[in-house]
Structures are given as C-alpha cells and as structure tokens.
Structure 1
Amino acid sequence: MEANTQGYVNAITEQSGITTISFFHPAQNSLPGALLLQLAQSIQNAGNNPLTKVIILKSDGEQAFCAGASFDELLQITTKQQGLDFFSGFAKVINACRTSSKIIIGRIHGKAIGGGVGIAAATDHCFATANAAIKLSELTIGIGPFVIEPAVTRKIGLSAFSHVTINATDFYTAQWAKGKGLYADVFDDAAEMDTAINTLAQKIISWNPEALSALKKTLWQGTDNWDTLLTERAAISGELVLSPFAQDAISKIKPKK
C-alpha cells in the first residue's frame, strides 16, 4: 500500500473466500495511471486466486466513489503514446473485471464521474447509495467517454449512454441509474448497502464455483474483442487530450486536492 498522498489499492481475502479490493486517492478518488494499473492487477490476482470465491470492488473515503481520471496527470500528457498509455489504464481495469472468473460486486457509495461510471459498469452486480449520482463529463474537457463506452452501453443501452454523454454537465440520480440497469439496487445509506452486499456475498461463496465461472463467461459473451477495441478507444482519447481545447479546459477546472 502506498502513502495516502499518492493513493493506494488494497486487497484483502477473508477465510470465507470474500476478497475486498479498495482504492483511494485524496483528489476525490480520481485515478492516476499508476493506481489504474495496480487496480487492474489486483482484480486479476483475485480472479486467479483459488481462495477467492467472490470479489467486492469499492473505494474508500466519504465523498466520491470515483471522479474519473486524474486531472494532474492529464495535464502532463505531451505525446500520443503517453495518452494511449494513460487511457489504457481504464481499459485494463475494465478488461480485468471482464475476464475475471469470479463474480464482482460493486459498492458505489458516492458520485461516479467519467471513468468511475465505467468501473461501476464493469462489475457484475452493483449496489449504490442514494448519493451515487453519475455523470459523463468528458465532452466538457475536450475528450469523450470512448474507453468506457462499451462497458456502460452494455449495462444501460445506447440511448441512455447517448443521453448522459451529450448532457455532459448534468448529474443523473442513483435512482435514474438503477432504472437504466447500472445499479441493481439503491439504498438510503452505506450501512444498508453493506448489509445487502454482505448478504449476497455470503450466498455466492456457498454456490458451485464452476457454475459461477460459467455464468461469468455467459454474462460477458460477445466481448472477446475488447482487448483490441478498448485499446483503440484509448488511442482516440489519448490524441484528443493533446488538443489546445482539452488542455485549456482541464487546466481551468482541475480540482483542488
């Protein structure tokens, strides 16, 4: 685990077979490239661990679940290759969720923005609190939600994805996201959500792991091309972030730590 000033990714596997993967960054849980790679690797490791029967994916802190990409790091991108490398981090997280043989339960306690929506969409069963509004704000900073689009569209459909993407300045409530299929259920507070997550996780660890693995493959049928597709999408974002429009927009709205 790294120092809190740099953020961290932490994975704990209980004797019961529940692996909880948590991430944190002090800037509203926005994710720099290093944390994205750590998160993807932690998901892969849990999926390959024979002791893991189910994965819970969450973030720490009391505010946003994930505010998307690190604006500090976006401003440091100066080449197309650097842009590709950075946005490939989100691609790797999504693909790690997709290819894991274990069911992944998402715990969304606060707002999810941009890549945070993509991470929520990449889980297999996602719970949220009433505070977990979503926003795809990428167009406002000169790029677009290209990398996460396949995962988000898979959950909420093309029409809803288009609606949220084009209305890039607006938040959509957790109840709206539930109605579109992103969230399985929405709770008044985190305590109620955690009770539901624990109840479901306890059920899953008692079920046939071979059946769960087969179900996982069925749920993600038709996504075998995502390794290539999401890399191609990362290249689009990586080029757009170099534009004067994007650099100016990001520098103006970069959140304070």
Structure 2
Amino acid sequence: MTTQNQNGTLITTIENKIVILEFGHPASNSFPIDLLDRLTNELNSLSNNPDVSVIVLKSSGSGAFCAGASFDELIAVSNLEEATKFFSGFANVLNAMRTCSKIIIGRIHGKAVGGGVGIAAACDYALATNESAIKLSELAIGIGPFVIEPAVTRKIGKSAMAKMTLETEWKTAFWANQKGLYAKVFETTTELDTEITAFANKLARYNPEALAEIKKVFWEGTENWNTLLYQRAKISGKLVLSDFSRKALNQFKK
C-alpha cells in the first residue's frame, strides 16, 4: 500500500510476515504533520495485523534518514494550539512505536536530526551505517528536544542525552553505537540491508506471541508517556512561538 501527496510518501509492503514501512519527503525526509499522522495510523494498524511479525522502518533515498520536523511547518504555526498539535504528531508516532505489538527494526542509512533521532531511538533494534551521524540542534532555534527526550534517554542515558542537547553538534554513528542507540554499524548500505534481511527473517520465524510479550517487557516503565509526551509537546509549542524562536527560525530560513 502506498499513500502519496505533497506532504510525502508512506509505502507499506508485507511479505513473509515482514513489513517494510518506508516514509519519504523531498526535504531530507522531514516530517510535516500529515506524514506523522499517516505513520501513526499505519503503525497502529500493523500492530493489530495477525499476518505481521516484524516491521522494518526505513526512509527513502540515499541521503538523510530523517531531518526531523518540517521546517516550513515550524515557521507557519501561529498559535499555541497549532504548535502543540504539530509537536504532538511526534508524540503520537513515538507512542505508536512504543505500543505496537510488533518488533520494529530501524534501518538508519544516513544522518538523523531532532525528531529523526527520536524515531531511531524508539525502534526496538536499530541498525545503521557509518554515515548515520546524529544531532540534536533544537536549542539553537529556541526550543528543545522535549518530546523525543524520553525515547533518546531510554537508549543512551541521561548524561549522553545532556551532552547531545547542550553541545548541539554532530555525533558520529560510532558514538551512537557506543551509547546504545545503534545495535550495529556497517560501512555500506549493502551490508546494512543484508544484515536487516537476515535478522528480520530470523525474528519472523519466532513465536509471534513471544515477540509481542517480550516487546512489552522492553517498554516497561514507559506507561506515563501517554501523558508525558503531550505535556512536552505543549512546552515545545509554547517555545516555538517565542520571539527568540521566531527570529532564529527566520534566520535559518534565510
């Protein structure tokens, strides 16, 4: 199944109990709210599909894995309701990944920024290439990685999260692997895809009930995300409307 419009593409392919779920957008695979909503709905649907055991989450092309929030939509928000709704889109995706009954393997083929780092962190098992550097640059535009923080901290720890947030600089794929965000890092996408195919097929042969139960164990202690992430979305929504953020966003656009 493919959904495509001016807000990006979402392609779902199912074969041998394995789903390839691919999102894409011309602006470095960034996320407008519409694409976030479509991804959330598809994850929720796949969670209830008895013909699916494993999901491989990937993005289109050979450039960035995900540039995070749509820059154009960040600039366009004009009130707290709109801004909170936008950031809640990322909260919805993270919660859908968290509660999805299927194991999610992340194919992180390139750089990830902001919300893209959060999505990589919310995968149950992420594989990457040497090109898959990560960055949290939100402070530079007057906001912060509030919504994705619980997902990233869960994987790399509070100290590493603080380092990424405050330094707002690129961290290498090797660094991300050392901190636990990536399970393995490969030199080429060919090697990456070979490993993903083998690993997904391996998981697909396991008892789906066992996979669903172990996923619940992986995510124990995150039940408060049903409220926490939306509280964080409101914080981001308020900050993105500040004079500081408006000036910074317009400067970046120029």
TM-score where L is the length of structure 1: 0.96
- Within 1, Cα distance between the matches of 2:137 and 2:248? 12
SS in 2 for 1:153: helix
CA distance in 2, matches of 1:55, 1:91: 19
The corresponding residue for 1:115 is 115
- Distance in 1 separating the partners of 2:42 and 2:250: 31
- How far off is 1:253 after superposition? 1.4
Partner amino acid, structure 2, of 1:158: K
Who is 1:150 aligned against? 150
AA paired with 1:204? L
Distance, in Å, in 2 between the alignment partners of 1:237 and 1:25 is: 23
Letter in 1 for 2:207: N
C-alpha distance after superposition, 1:195-226 (max 9, x if no partner): 00011001101001111111000000001110
Distance in 2, matches of 1:76 and 1:89, equals: 15
Structure 2 counterpart SS, 1:110: coil
Quote the residue 1:71 is aligned against: 71
Aligned residue for 2:48? 48
1:2 counterpart residue number: 4
AA paired with 1:132?
A: S
- Is this contact kept in 1: 2:54–2:104, CA < 8 A? yes
Question: Which amino acid is 1:252 matched to?
Answer: Q
- The residue identity in structure 1 corresponding to 2:131 is N
- 1:244: Cα distance to partner? 1.2
Report the residue type matching 1:12 in the other structure.
T
1:130-181 alpha-carbon deviations (Å, 9 max, x no partner):
000000000000000000000000000000000000001x100000000000
Q: Which runs of 5+ in 1 are unaligned?
A: none
- Please give the per-residue CA displacement for 1:87-115, whole angstroms capped at 9, x wherever unaligned: 00000110000001110000001000000
Pairs within 5 Å for 1:76-225: 76-168=76-168, 170-225=169-224
Amino acid across the alignment from 2:197: N
Give SS of 1:2's match. Answer: strand
Change (3 A) 1:160 1:49: same
Aligned CA-pair RMSD: 0.9
The whole-number CA distance in structure 2 between the counterparts of 1:249 and 1:41 is 33
Aligned residue-pair number: 252
Matched residues, percent identical? 55
Shift of 1:254: 3.0
Compute the TM-score of the two structures, normalised by the length of structure 2: 0.97
Q: Secondary structure of 2:56's partner?
A: strand
SS at match of 1:84: helix
Cα distance in 2 for residues equivalent to 1:72 and 1:95: 24
In 2: Cα distance, 1:59 partner to 1:43 partner: 15
CA distance in 2, matches of 1:44, 1:78: 30
Q: Larger deviation: 244-253 or 178-187? A: 244-253
| 1:11 alignment partner, SS class | strand
- Check whether the contact 2:186–2:192 (CA below 8 A) recurs between aligned residues: yes
Give the aligned partner of residue 12 of structure 1: 13
Q: In 2, Cα distance between the equivalents of 1:251 and 1:25?
A: 22
Unaligned runs of 5+ in 2: none
Q: Counterpart of 2:247 in 1: which secondary structure?
A: helix
1:6 CA drift (Å): 2.9
What is the CA distance between 1:250 and its match in structure 2? 1.2
1:243 is the counterpart of 2:238 = no
Cα contact 2:126–2:183 (8 A) shared by 1: yes
